[in-house]
Amino acid sequence: MIWFKNYTIDDLQKFIPNTILEHIGIEITELTDNSVSGKMPVDRRTIQPAGILHGGSSVVLAESLGSIASVLVINQEKHNAVGLEINANHVRPVSKGFVYGTATPIHIGGKTHIWEIKIVNEQGKLVCISRLTMALLPK
């Protein structure tokens, strides 16, 4: 297990109220020994004018899952984890339902973390793949 302490899925709910996650309907759905997963609706809040999932919405889901994962790895009394860089490749469009993302570590260091976030549609097909670099800053 890579987490700083034994978190539960209920512990992760504190990241949602009064944030963009709440605003666009992102839910945290699973916490494993080395990943954080969530889902996001494809609806009026997350689509672009063409009626398909907005790439920025996918990036919000990716950065949210990776950021939460980084926070779970660190001692939050001593450090903050902040986004340093994110990229995303949008593979296929989605026009309804939900998309599901999972953040897994590529690198967990003392000053940076790198996360891979895969977002899939309801059929399990890749929609977006993203890489997020987080900087760890002393408080």
Can you give the CATH number for the domain in which 24 is found?
A: 3.10.129.10
Examine residue 98 and state whether it is found in any structural domain, yes or no.
yes
pLDDT in tens, the chain (139 residues): 899 999 999 999 999 999 999 999 999 999 999 999 999 999 999 999 999 999 999 999 999 999 999 999 999 999 999 999 999 999 999 999 999 999 999 999 999 999 999 999 999 999 999 999 999 999 9
How many independent structural domains does the chain possess? 1
Examine residue 1 and state whether it is found in any structural domain, yes or no.
no
Examine residue 33 and state whether it is found in any structural domain, yes or no.
yes
DSSP annotation string for 80-113: EEEEEEEEEEE-S---SSEEEEEEEEEEE-SSEE
Closest Cα partner for 131 from 107, 99, 100, 98?
A: 107
77 is catalytic: no
Examine residue 103 and state whether it is found in any structural domain, yes or no.
yes
Q: Whole-model pTM?
A: 0.96
Where in the sequence is the domain holding 22, given as residue range(s)? 9-138
* Catalytic residue chosen out of the listed positions 22, 27, 30, 63: 63
Examine residue 23 and state whether it is found in any structural domain, yes or no.
yes
Examine residue 50 and state whether it is found in any structural domain, yes or no.
yes
